[in-house]
Structure 1
Amino acid sequence: MRVTDGGKAIDVEVWNVPASLFGSFVAGIPTPLGIGKLTLADGREVPGFIAEPIAPEGATEIIELGAWRRYIASRR
């Protein structure tokens, strides 16, 4: 989620999804997620998951772990 103050960079995975499959992929994304532009540390902009402002309500904060996969690993 983009914020105006604070926030931290996290690790991301960049996948190569064929254009012919992108629409069906996006159609399966549940609320409150969506697709938007992400700016990577090297300055590239890529399509990626974004979240509506309501998304953090009741969610677990994982920013200190720095990556989704590290969060999943921490739960094992």
Structure 2
Amino acid sequence: MTSVQLAVVGAHLAGMPLHHQLTSRQARFVRASRTAPSYRLYAMAGTTPPKPALVHAAGGGSIELEIYELDVAAFGSFVAEVPAPLAIGTVALEDGTSVKGFVAEPRAMEGAEDITALGGWRAFMALQAG
């Protein structure tokens, strides 16, 4: 294996504040997609910049995401910078495949707002912007 596909759902999306952590590692955009309809998305409390938490859950929805491809070494250096309570796990996609992607520990939901109904982070950020 020489590369890894990585799904991002929040602050690492194109145009968002942490996207540079992908571009600085020469990540290549693969495609926009959605999760399988079994995830909940939360706006975590007290994060700077604002970040979401993606959690596999019964009664969830399908969440918008972007998939990037990174060389294995770049993926490793990226993962080393992911702060708890976020983590990298396996995310099921709407087409039945899966990729590595951002997921969250249960503690990420403490004080968080469930924004699943919005379908993605961009919609939430647009609401916040007014």
Report the TM-score, using the length of structure 2 for normalisation. 0.55
**Residue pairs, 1:1-76, within 5 angstroms:** 1-3=55-57, 5-76=58-129
Equivalents in 2 of 1:24, 1:73: separation in Å? 31
* Runs of 5+ unmatched residues, structure 1: none
Aligned length: 75
* Runs of 5+ unmatched residues, structure 2: 1-54
By how many angstroms is 1:60 displaced? 2.0
Equivalents in 2 of 1:16, 1:74: separation in Å? 30
Report the TM-score, using the length of structure 1 for normalisation. 0.90
By how many angstroms is 1:32 displaced? 0.3
Larger fraction in strand = 2
By how many angstroms is 1:17 displaced? 1.7
Equivalents in 2 of 1:19, 1:73: separation in Å? 33
Tell me the alpha carbon deviations over residues 40-76 of structure 1, each in whole angstroms, 9 at most, x when there is no partner: 0001110000100111111122111100111112111
Equivalents in 1 of 2:118, 2:71: separation in Å? 30
Equivalents in 1 of 2:71, 2:128: separation in Å? 32
> 3-state DSSP class of the match of 2:87?
strand
Equivalents in 1 of 2:70, 2:118: separation in Å? 27
Equivalents in 1 of 2:83, 2:123: separation in Å? 22
